[in-house]
Amino acid sequence: MYKDRFLPVVKFLNIFLGVISLAAVASLIGEYGFYLSPQTGAWFNRINIFIVWYFVFQALLKIAVSRDPLSYLKARWFDYLLVAVILVETLILVHLAGFEKLGRYLSGQNVSEITRFYIVAFQISFLFTLVTQSVRINQKIAAYRIHPAQVLIGSFFIIILLGTGLLMLPRATLPGNHLSFLDALFTSTSATCVTGLIVVDTGSYFSRFGQVIIMMLIQIGGLGLMTFSSFFALILRRQISLREKSMMKEIMNYENYGIISKLLSTTVLFTFTIELIGFFILYLAMGPEQSGRFFSALFHSISAFCNAGFSLYRDNFAGFQFNYVFLSTIMLLIVLGGLGFPVLLNLAGGKFRPQQKKKHALTVQTKLVLLISGILIVLGTVVFVSLESHNVMAGKPWHYKIINGLFQSITTRTAGFNTVNISQITFPVVIFFLFLMFVGASPASTGGGIKTTTFGILTAGVLAVIRRRNRIEMFHKTVPYTVLNRAIVIVLFSIFFVFVVFFVLTITEPFKPMDILFETFSAFGTVGLSRGITPDLSPIGKTVIVVAMFFGRLGALTISLAIATPRDIYHYDYPKENVMVG
């Protein structure tokens, strides 16, 4: 790659680039996270300019000492595109101001005024440079023989900690507000695990900077950090190794190596496309009288598709009860995000099984997800409308009851938005909501819960036992019993975990048992609905809910695989003997 005699120089450049990268991150945090005086801001800008030119210098020097400059340029086209942008910006500044005048500005206090566009453009470009660095880190992680479940847990843990630190910055909250470490950890976990439970109001407590951080945590948490890194590796034309594909295959719970690259790229592009369309419709549905509707539409489109449940409004979506275009768009985004990416791609006509002959043939998973999701949505709507028509929806017209009943049925499974006061719904509806939250969304989606397919497989297994059949048949296909075993493990593990969380909270919290149970199921299912007790939880209670949200997002199977020791291979069987059950 490089000429031998220049290898020590390149090594030194890379080491110093790492130091410069840390300085650049610190500069970005300092400038956007703290309230700075003009003098301090000017010094930060000078540091940024130095970082800019070191990046350009080392990039030009590396291509000069490479063995094949053209191939090197093609392999790192993105880095040199940034270099070209920086050089063009510099020429424009020199042309407009001249060398002497530009020098005076750079040494004076007005550096931020003259070079604002230049510095912001670099900061944006530097963020993309960090993306390229994360791709390389992703490749290094894949090279180690770490179980994919452990990598997944580690990536979520790192993002949560980074989000916690960013949310504690002074400019993340509005003047006069301050977020404690525990509240920042709670909010970061809720956003990264796309839950929506909040200890402070998102719209009135956080600044726009803090809201952007929450939105980014939701987006990364919805798709997963490793998915983003692998996607950008494809965009930058970096080849994904077989080890990386193996890791992503386990993380995304898919069986075919051959389509991992296609699945990754299509998943992220699908996400951005759907969210963009949702943003456009929400923007129009809000109307010009809505203040800050551009950011609001963007925030809620991402929050809805990622099934996060975060809202910028104190009353959530109660103010949009009669805005049926707005509610319908949110519902569609929630459903699409909750179906799971393999199902979405299969519905779009993608071929994701090697034996699939028909291009548009639906897989068993797609059919099962659509069937269970449809049944749960209809049942939830019927139960809510029939039992709440004379309670929280009393006196409202029939079309209001149907739309809001459908909305609450869809959002209760994993999204967590609400148009009615959840603390006032009747006891039977609360019980049914617990069931909806426990089932949750579908595999490889942005939602939580035990998943619709787990519930479907378990139901099919029970029916097979009742009918005295020795196999599970679904849609004219036979499902292996290993799938049923996994479903049983997930359900039992989840029930045990929910019980432990509920038991601990009943000891530490003074609220009604039903409110605590509702909070527990909401955290486990990464739903975000609450009966109003979240802000008043004790420090121990908040910590327990943080663990519940983390567990619920990753799932029982992922947690168990991460902590379990490698299985032993046995070459013998013990004699069989029946045991009476039931």
pLDDT, one tens digit per residue, over 275-323 is 999 999 999 999 887 888 899 999 999 999 999 989 999 888 988 999 9
Report phi then psi at 195, rounded to 5: -100, -65
> Residue 297 has what pLDDT?
94
Residues 6+ apart with CB under 8 A from 361: none
Residue 106 is given by DSSP the state H
Report phi then psi at 473, rounded to 5: -115, 130
Q: Is 288 exposed, middle or buried (0-12, 13-18, 19+ CB in 10 A)?
A: exposed
> Residue 67 has what pLDDT?
83
Give the C-alpha separation, 236 to 252, whole Å.
21
Give the C-alpha separation, 156 to 77, whole Å.
30
> Residue 19 has what pLDDT?
81
pTM of the model: 0.84
Angle, CA of 89, 91 and 95, to the nearest 5° = 120
**Residue 106: how many CB atoms within 10 A of its CB?**
17
The low-confidence residues of the chain, meaning pLDDT below 70, are 1, 93, 95-149, 224-262, 350-360, 561-572, 582
Give the C-alpha separation, 578 to 575, whole Å.
10
> Residue 17 has what pLDDT?
76
